[in-house]
Structure formats: C-alpha cells, structure tokens
C-alpha cells in the first residue's frame, strides 16, 4: 500500500468570503455547545446570541464560547437585529414551531440552519420548507455526515469517475448512540436519528433510488417502547446499483460485560475501482479521523490511503453553515437546502412504510 495519493480529492467545505453575518443560536445542548459552536469558532464564523429553554445553561454556553448575548426566550433572540442567520438545535417535535416564529422575522433574518430530521415526519418537513419559501428565508438542513471527510472524499472519487459505474455499496454501522431524553416521548430511535445520515449519504453519493426495502427490530438495550432499534435496508437504483446499510445499535452486549467490536465501515465497488472507509465518530470524544482507502484501474495494482487531521465531530459541522452563508453571499445553490432534504425525509418515511407493509416502497409514492 502507499500513502501517496495521485488524485486531487475535494474533502473540505467551501467557505464564504464574508464570515461576519450574525448567527443566533437556538438551543444550548451537546450538538450546539460541543459541535456547532466549536466548529464555528474554528472557521471564523460569528455567533452573536444564544437562547434555550434553560437560560442558565444558555448563559454558561455563551460565556464558554464568548457569545456576547444570551436570552431567556428564543423569541427575544429573534427580535435582535444583529441576528441575520438562525441556527436551530431543538428536538424534532419543536422545530416546526420555531421555524414558524423565525418566518415572522424575515425582514432581518435571511437564513435558517435546521436540524435533521426536519420535523417529526415528511408532512412537517414540507410545511417547514413552505414556510421558509413563502417568507423568502434560505433553509439549509444540518445533514453533516455529507461533510465527514471520508464521505466527501468518496464523492470526489465518484465525480472524477475513478471508480467508474457504481455496482454495489454498503454502510455497516456497529455503534451504540447516546439516545436523547426526548426520544422516549417520540417513541422512535434509529431510522430518523442515525439511519437518516446513511440514507442521505447514499443520496449524496448516488442520487435517488427507485425502491427501498426495510426491516427493523427493537434494540434490547433501549428500555422505552420503540420499533426501529436495529435497522436493515436495501436501496435499488435504475442503473442496477444495489446499496445496503446495517444499522446495528446493539453490537452485542458491549456495555453489559462482553468485549466490544464497535465501528462504522463503508464500501463502494465500481466497475473500475473500489473504495472503502471508516467513520471515526464512535470513539468520540477521542478525536479519530475517518479514513479512506481506494484502488482504481487508472493506477493498476495499487492502494492509496489519503489521510487528514480533521474529524466528523466537530469539524464537519462547518460545512452546512458554510453552505448557508455562501448561498446568502452569492446565490450559490445549497446542496443541503430544504427542498433537497425532502427527498431524504421521503426515504426515511418509505422505510417506516416498508416495515409496516413488508414490501419495497418507491419514495415517489409519498
């Protein structure tokens, strides 16, 4: 094998020239405090205000990240004329209500970065997209796995046709997420929280499938009632490409005393090359960069192993906000805009329908 990479791989986000727009942050939990704000500081973006349901916690996060203003209520933040972009990090069942409030302030708020999933279901996601479109507010969805360094580098291989026609691709996740308390009241876990990353990544790599078939079972470790614990699904493409993911949040009794075997691996097989990689997230907070190995007929008999120092959590969180700021700066279409994300939400809904009806679903049915 060789570390030398003869091909130019585009794995970093495009940054705006103007990093001065004031960002108002709604929510002060882990994703905001330990991912968004850390990444924004590294990129030179400008958070100017924060609010959350716990004002003391919002104030503490503001102090930690040198944010000049914290508010006891996010509606106060929306009145702040220094805020021109809103970063929303609240549970899915609250997101539609927050977006509706933001839309009333479109005179000075020009853009929204919303969390995935974009609402509780496809219908709510459509309403969020409509509200933003009618108000003239740019909407980008924080599907940040597209900016994981190995995922983005794999896309670069595909764009450069180094693998030629994709034949078969997989994501194999054996990892134990930390479920949030709000998931118990919503009654679902993996499909809308973890699988949505993989479904969106498959769309990013290959476009939209014709059909999807899903099978699920509860996770033995998760005590509250749910259906979508361990999730398997297959995507069928018109080209003949077949794509599959195994989203195993059990991984065996790794927390109950057995030895652990935890990780996320992906693989793309093409007619002229092979790429394989790992996702470093399961070892967080230990900074573990994702990896990529690839071989192509352009360089017969060789493996190449490009490596980088950046990691998914938190470095990839620069990408979605950068897309929003670039879209506002020069009108560049955002890859992660709300309209595009409706197709990812439709794939998630198709998984639930497939489970209910025990058949493959064409997302266009939705």
Give the pLDDT band (50/70/90) at residue 3.
low
Cα–Cα distance for residue pair 179/188, rounded to 1 Å: 10
Chain-wide mean pLDDT for the chain? 96
Which of 99-103, 111-115, 175-179 is predicted least confidently? 175-179
CATH classification (class only), 145-319+344-365: alpha beta
Q: What is the pLDDT of residue 15?
A: 97
**Residue 2 scores a pLDDT above 50:** no
- Rounded average pLDDT over 86-90: 98
Using DSSP, state whether 58 is helix, strand or coil: helix
Q: What is the pTM of this model?
A: 0.96
pLDDT tens-place string over residues 5-39: 777 999 999 999 999 999 999 999 999 999 999 99
Q: Quick one: pLDDT band at residue 310, thresholds 50, 70, 90? A: very high
CATH number of 22-143+321-331: 3.40.50.720
Q: If pLDDT is split at 50, 70 and 90, which confidence band does 109 have? A: very high
- What pLDDT is attached to residue 5? 77
Distance of CA 151 to CAs 34, 45, 87, 137, Å? 22, 24, 24, 29
Q: What are phi and psi of 231, to 5 degrees?
A: -130, 130
Distance from C-alpha of 355 to C-alpha of 349, rounded to nearest angstrom: 10
Tell me the C-alpha distance between 41 and 19, whole Å.
11
Residue 74 contacts residue 26 (beta carbons within 8 Å):
yes
Q: Where are the domains of the chain?
A: 22-143+321-331, 145-319+344-365
Residue 1 has pLDDT above 60, yes or no: no
Q: HSE-up of 297 (CA within 13 Å, CB side)?
A: 9
What percent of the chain stands above pLDDT 90? 96
**pLDDT value of position 4:** 67
pLDDT category at 365 given cuts 50, 70, 90 is confident
Q: Give the least confident one: 2-6, 128-132, 199-203.
A: 2-6
Q: What is the mean pLDDT of residues 158-174?
A: 98
Rounded average pLDDT over 126-143: 98
């Amino acid at each position: 094998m060789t570390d030398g990479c003869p091909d130019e791989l585009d794995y970093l986000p495009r940054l705006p020239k103007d990093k001065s727009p004031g960002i108002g942050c709604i929510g002060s939990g882990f994703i905001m405090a330990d991912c968004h704000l850390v990444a924004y500081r590294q990129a030179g973006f400008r958070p100017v205000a924060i609010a959350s349901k716990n004002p003391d916690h919002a104030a503490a996060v503001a102090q930690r990240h040198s944010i000049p203003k914290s508010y006891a209520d996010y509606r106060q933040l929306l009145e702040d004329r220094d805020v021109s972009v809103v970063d929303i990090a609240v549970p899915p069942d609250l997101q539609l209500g927050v977006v509706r409030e933001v839309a009333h302030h479109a005179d000075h708020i020009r853009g929204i970065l919303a969390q995935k999933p974009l609402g509780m279901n496809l219908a709510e996601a459509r309403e969020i997209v409509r509200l933003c479109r009618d108000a003239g507010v740019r909407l980008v969805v924080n599907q940040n796995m597209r900016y994981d360094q190995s995922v983005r580098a794999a896309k670069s291989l595909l764009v450069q046709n180094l693998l030629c026609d994709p034949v078969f691709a997989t994501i194999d996740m054996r990892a134990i997420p930390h479920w949030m308390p709000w998931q118990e009241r919503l009654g679902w876990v993996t499909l809308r929280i973890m699988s949505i990353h993989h479904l969106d990544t498959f769309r990013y790599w290959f476009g939209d499938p014709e059909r999807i078939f899903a099978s699920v079972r509860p996770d033995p470790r998760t005590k509250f009632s749910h259906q979508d614990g361990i999730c398997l699904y297959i995507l069928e493409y018109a080209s003949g490409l077949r794509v599959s993911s195994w989203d195993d949040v059990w991984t065996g009794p790794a927390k109950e005393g057995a030895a652990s075997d935890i990780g996320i691996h992906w693989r793309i097989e093409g007619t002229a090359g092979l790429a394989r990689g790992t996702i470093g997230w399961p070892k967080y907070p230990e900074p573990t960069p994702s990896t990529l190995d690839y071989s192509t007929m352009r360089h017969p008999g060789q493996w190449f192993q490009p490596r980088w120092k950046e990691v998914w959590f938190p470095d990839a969180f620069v990408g979605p906000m950068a897309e929003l700021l670039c879209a506002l700066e020069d009108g560049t279409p955002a890859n992660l805009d709300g309209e595009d994300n409706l197709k990812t939400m439709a794939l998630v809904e198709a998984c639930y329908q497939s489970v209910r009806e025990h058949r493959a679903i064409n997302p266009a049915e939705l």
